[in-house]
Amino acid sequence: MQDPDGREVASVARGIGVATNNVAEYMAAIEGLERAADLGARSIQVRSDSKLLIEQLSGRWRVKNPTLIKLHERVRALLNRFPSGVSFEHVPRELNREADRLANRGVDEWLAGPGKGYRAPDPSPALFEQDSS
């Protein structure tokens, strides 16, 4: 998190276990919004390389997934804690390296701790036979 002058005031890196990318993006937004509100921010700019997150939070895209609906409601409630305004910005992944670094750190810490025994599932079988010609 940065103040209006671009100085970092806080960061969050926490593993959440096994989840989809979309759930992880929503959880990151929730963590960031809670932290910003706790620090006394009155306005906020939510920046993410997740187009889905930004478009859903800005109201341009509908939320259909039941899990994301619950997370979306939680984020929308948190946004009420910023009386001076909220804005959303999609940031290309290559310009969002710090957020990517923090996400990777959270995953690594989870794998080293609570997720130590996690084993990725085997890949799904092919649905169609490959053409050998």
Question: Looking at the domain assignment, is residue 79 inside a domain?
Answer: yes
Question: Looking at the domain assignment, is residue 13 inside a domain?
Answer: no
Question: Looking at the domain assignment, is residue 56 inside a domain?
Answer: yes
User: pLDDT value at position 51?
Assistant: 95
Question: Looking at the domain assignment, is residue 68 inside a domain?
Answer: yes
> CA quadruple 52, 18, 96, 31: dihedral positive or negative?
positive
Range of the domain at 80: 21-112
Number of structural domains, the chain? 1
- pLDDT tens-digit series, residues 3-40: 677 776 666 667 677 778 899 899 999 999 999 999 99
Question: Looking at the domain assignment, is residue 129 inside a domain?
Answer: no
Across the strands, what pairs with 29? none
Across the strands, what pairs with 2? 8
- pLDDT tens-digit series, residues 84-106: 999 999 998 777 777 676 676 76
Does the pLDDT value for residue 133 go beyond 60? no
Question: Looking at the domain assignment, is residue 28 inside a domain?
Answer: yes
Torsion of CA 41, 44, 49, 54, to 10 degrees: 130
CATH code (residue 72) = 3.30.420.10
Residue 29 CA to residue 32 CA, distance in Å, equals: 5
